[in-house]
A = this chain, B = another copy of it.
């Protein structure tokens, strides 16, 4: 993408109403624009990151055997009256009346709707286990939306729902999602720690939050330091195998958010040198809640013995738009964002320090084309901004690596190869720089 044909409205000043660094950087880097309290437009740079995260989340859901559907944002109130949550949900639910005065709502989550979908089609245990997910915008009418996309009102969530004939099978479905989440966050460049969690208004008896560590995290977390660097199961994991060992490998360690923290257990179970007390951000939450919804909404199937049984359910959420903010909280410095490679809005950049200079233009065009032909998605800064402004912009938006081409270097046969994360720069030939970049060095 040529920057001259892109839309990247970076801001010079930090907006005064943005309290946390991810919100500040997203506004400054031209990733989002606020349209109302807790409601944002995704500008081209932000949308690229959002879509990359969404893609990884989707791929890992598919790999774990979940099947994608797409439920609407607007739901009829009747479903929530059946489950009993229509009154219980309170003011966070955005309630709507249509032109015929029918009561509707903007879905804050989809347990009811998916249970209705399930009961419309599934009659037999033979059609299970079944895990359906969607990636759709939700709305929660937070009383004080803040922190940008970290706590917005309209937000993008991946929510999966599992249906099983009995608890044993349901636990297996839970373990699948547990492992899929470890792989998802690992691919996003994050170290996410599963922590036993309160089930809250969803209900149920088994639940884990996935927490990433960040100094600016919203809540205190306490865990065994050995958990932090434990590698994810990886893409070779067979989701049809017994996944309990993978789960227990982690749940055997102490890990708890503030709400669930038990100081006495922490002190007794975790050796002093491994006691990690830090700040964390929730990026995923999984629940097993049995027949809470299936009973209320009569989602029953015929079991192997021919008798009707209410299905066992779980739900599994990842805050896709929230992750954009969460990742920035975990990956930035004073100059701007430092994107993990897999989700960077552009793989790399080519910076023309003197657009209009024949030699610079030719070298940049060559670099740009070779990168595209090698399958990369580069940003080419072909504008006539000042060199200093170009380089700061590049640091602000956090592109992992860049080839910087100027007239002085070209005279000596060199360009500058820059690494955003390490800050390393080296002066080498354009060929050498391109070879290094395309080799992923």
Q: Could you list which residues of chain A lie within 8 angstroms of chain B, going by C-beta atoms?
A: 5-7, 9, 30, 33, 35-37, 39-44, 47, 50, 65, 67-76, 91-92, 94, 96, 98-99, 102, 104, 106, 113, 116-117, 120-122, 130, 132, 137, 139, 141, 143, 153-154
Contact = CB atoms under 8 A, between A and B. Distances in A.
A68 B49 CA distance: 12
B106 A74 contact: yes
Copies in the complex: 2
A385 to B, nearest CB: 12
Contacts of A69: 7, 41-44, 47
Given A9-B122, A30-B121, A98-B141, 12 more contacts: A7-B121, A33-B117, A35-B75, A35-B113, A36-B72, A36-B74, A36-B76, A36-B102, A41-B69, A44-B68, A74-B154, A99-B141
Given A96-B94, A121-B9, A73 B73 contact: yes
Contact of A39 (B50, B72, B153): B72
Contact of A73 (B9, B71, B154): B154
B98 A67 contact: no
8 contacts: A7-B67, A9-B120, A33-B117, A35-B71, A35-B113, A41-B71, A47-B68, A91-B99
A117 B41 contact: yes
Contacts of A5: 65, 67
A143 B36 contact: no
B36 A113 contact: no
A248 B75 CA distance: 46
A91 B121 CA distance: 35
A92 B99 CA distance: 8
A130 B91 contact: no
A50 B70 contact: yes
Contact of A99 (B42, B68, B122, B143): B143
Contacts of A141: 98-99
A362 B381 CA distance: 54
A104 B96 CA distance: 11
B113 A72 contact: no
Nearest to A93: B99
A132 B39 CA distance: 19
Contacts of A137: 72-73, 137
Nearest to A113: B35
A130 B120 CA distance: 47
A50 B71 CA distance: 13
Nearest to A5: B65
Contacts of A74: 36, 39, 94, 106, 139, 153-154
Nearest to A384: B126
A338 to B, nearest CB: 24
A72 B120 CA distance: 31
A99 B42 CA distance: 24
Contacts of A130: 7
Contacts of A121: 7, 9, 30, 33
Contact of A154 (B72, B139, B154): B72
A36 B80 CA distance: 13
A166 B392 CA distance: 33
The 4 closest A-B pairs by CB, nearest first: A9-B121, A42-B70, A36-B76, A91-B99
